[in-house]
């Protein structure tokens, strides 16, 4: 169990790096990485403002990259690490990808998928929350505090 926690923290730090890239580009600081067999196969950060596209969330970018890397649309042997709980749209995309595991840091009580329904996900998908939550939450809190 300790080894899994260390692995989750390692990859969540990579997701946090992606979130910092988003922040540097004026985006909501959310980052994601997708891992298969111990290797990063997809990564992404929010590009909503950059692309003027409300669907350009970090998870969507990472799913697209992973599917391209792996050569298929299904990701059952993959884990996504995302700094904030996926929204309903991203949870739906993760369900369609049949992702094996979702690990997220900060919860999102306003727009997170658990607020809507956990039944969105594929039945075989496992979920772990709260990994490096304090760091993920601080990044979001600091970002929105500057907007006020």
Name the active-site residue from 59, 118, 135, 137: 59
Per-residue CA distances from 23 to 1, 54, 139 (Å): 32, 17, 9
Nearest alpha-carbon partner for 129 in 99, 86, 95: 86
CB 35 within 8 A of CB 7: no
CA dihedral 35, 117, 132, 53 (to 10 degrees): 70
Residue 6 falls in the annotated catalytic set: no
Sheet of 101-106, strand order: 39-45, 31-36, 78-84, 101-106, 126-129
Nearest alpha-carbon partner for 60 in 23, 26, 25, 90: 90
> Catalytic residue numbers?
59
């Amino acid at each position: 169990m300790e080894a899994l926690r260390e692995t989750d923290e390692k990859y969540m730090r990579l997701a946090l790096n992606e979130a910092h890239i988003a922040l540097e580009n004026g985006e909501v600081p959310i980052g994601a990485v997708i891992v298969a067999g111990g290797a990063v196969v997809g990564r992404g950060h929010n590009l909503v403002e950059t692309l003027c596209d409300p669907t350009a969330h970090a998870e969507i970018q990472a799913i697209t990259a992973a599917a391209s890397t792996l050569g298929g649309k299904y990701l059952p042997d993959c884990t996504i690490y995302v700094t904030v709980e996926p929204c309903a749209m991203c949870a739906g995309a993760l369900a369609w990808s049949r992702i094996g595991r979702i690990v997220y840091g900060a919860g999102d009580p306003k727009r997170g998928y658990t607020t809507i329904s956990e039944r969105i996900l594929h039945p075989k998908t496992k979920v772990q929350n709260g990994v490096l939550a304090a760091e993920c939450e601080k990044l979001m809190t600091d970002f929105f505090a500057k907007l006020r």
